[in-house]
Amino acid sequence: MPCTVIVGAFWGDEGKGKIISYLALKDKVDCCVRTGSVNAAHTVWMKGKRYALHMVPAGFLNQKCRLLIGAGANVHVGKFLEEVELTKVHNRIGVDYQASIIEEKHAIQDKTSAHLKGIGTTGWGVGPALEERVRRTAKLARDIPELQPYLADVSTEVNEGIDAGKNVLLEGTQGFMLSLFYGTYPYVTGRDTSAAAICSEAGVGPTRVDDVLIVYKSFITRVGAGPLPGEISKEEAIKRGWFETAAGTGRDRRSAPFDFELARKVAKINGATQAAVTKLDSLFPKCQGVREFNALPLEAKQFIKEIEKTTGVPVVLIGTGPDALDIIDRR
């Protein structure tokens, strides 16, 4: 498909990095555009090596994929340069000249501001950086000498690519339930995280999108404060094999069982046309490494079919292990 939006369904950590990296490799994606900011990491595993990326798009595994960071994103210059060196993508990554910059002062404000205490922010400084952008006083990528070799007009490049029939992925960060507008306010992030917002940050109009692929995990996790319906204890999460730590911050992830009604709601608001389910092997260990739907145990198949029935969205990709290629592809 020429243009697909990848959006997280719950409170983040759904495995978007895995799905994006798989699509980049399998579908030979031409262009991958990252939106959002440094406060969320996408985890990618390939041949036993783990990457936790805050800035570089997860599609980097495809050596021919053009990587871009949209105008609506916030760029942490140090982390960006560090990850460019790590992934060796110097000659194929671009940053929109109007993307805004996170400075050290923003991280300090994030950690010391009284009104943010108890919210559970990551401390990267994203909220204060966004406040400055709204005040029209933020530095932009075009103002930063170190970013000059990477500057790009992302919206023009992406739209010309779509016109040419190229395969484009728009890579959202965080999860929909952290949306500033639709999430569990005030325990949310500083931006909207919906599919529509991903399009806006990348500079792509909604009529140019062919598919919205919503990513679910077989159970729900969130970090920081705020409500989590059905939350279980850390001890119970460990017992079930659901206990995780956040890729970006190392914080413990709180856990809860899959919420079918919430899955239905977020699919509707985001206009999902396809769904992915990751970590099926955490819920059903016999699924580990399986790459054919018919080889799944009956209870795992029933779980997938229940998601499809409740949401009305076909589950086309199923993650059964950590590697980028540990996927059942039903497309």
Q: What is the pLDDT of the chain when averaged over all its residues?
A: 93
Q: Which are the contacts of 158, defined by CB distance < 8 A and separation ≥ 6?
A: 31, 33, 68, 168, 202, 203, 204
Concerning whether 76 is annotated as a catalytic residue, the answer is no
Higher pLDDT, 246 or 77: 77
| pLDDT score of 1 | 56
| pLDDT score of 138 | 94
CA 136 to chain centre: 27
State the Cα–Cα distance between residues 188 and 180, nearest whole angstrom. Answer: 6
CA torsion angle for 179, 33, 266, 39 (degrees, to 10)?
-30
Q: What is the average pLDDT across 307-330?
A: 95
State the Cα–Cα distance between residues 225 and 203, nearest whole angstrom. Answer: 32
In the chain, the largest separation of any two C-alpha atoms, in whole Å, equals 57
pLDDT for 237 beyond 70: yes
CA atoms within 13 A of residue 101's CA, in its CB half-sphere:
17
Q: At what angle do helices 298-311 and 260-270 cross, to 10 degrees?
A: 50
Task: Read off the pLDDT of residues 142-192 as tens digits, 9 standing for 90 and up.
Answer: 999 999 999 999 999 999 999 999 999 999 999 999 999 999 999 999 999
Concerning whether 13 is annotated as a catalytic residue, the answer is yes
DSSP for residue 162: H
Q: Is the pTM of this model over 0.85?
A: yes
pLDDT for 247 beyond 60: yes
pLDDT for 116 beyond 80: no
Task: Read off the pLDDT of residues 250-262 as tens digits, 9 standing for 90 and up.
Answer: 778 999 999 999 9
Q: What percent of the chain shows pLDDT beyond 90?
A: 80
Task: Read off the pLDDT of residues 62-105 as tens digits, 9 standing for 90 and up.
Answer: 999 999 999 999 999 999 999 999 999 999 999 999 999 999 89
| pLDDT score of 125 | 83
pLDDT band of residue 126 (cuts 50, 70, 90) is confident
Per the structure block, which two tokens stand in for 276? 């992915």
Angle at the Cα of 177 (from 173 to 180), degrees rounded to 5?
80
pLDDT band of residue 324 (cuts 50, 70, 90) is confident
For domain 3-329, give the fold: Adenylosuccinate Synthetase; Chain A, domain 1 (3.40.440)
By three-state DSSP, how is residue 245 classified? strand
State the Cα–Cα distance between residues 91 and 265, nearest whole angstrom. Answer: 41
**DSSP states of 126-138 as a string?**
HHHHHHHHHTT--
What are phi and psi for residue 315, nearest 5 degrees? -90, 110
pLDDT band of residue 297 (cuts 50, 70, 90) is very high
| pLDDT score of 248 | 61
Strand partners, 259: none
What are phi and psi for residue 291, nearest 5 degrees? -125, 15
pLDDT for 118 beyond 60: no
Task: Read off the pLDDT of residues 25-48 as tens digits, 9 standing for 90 and up.
Answer: 999 999 999 999 988 888 888 888
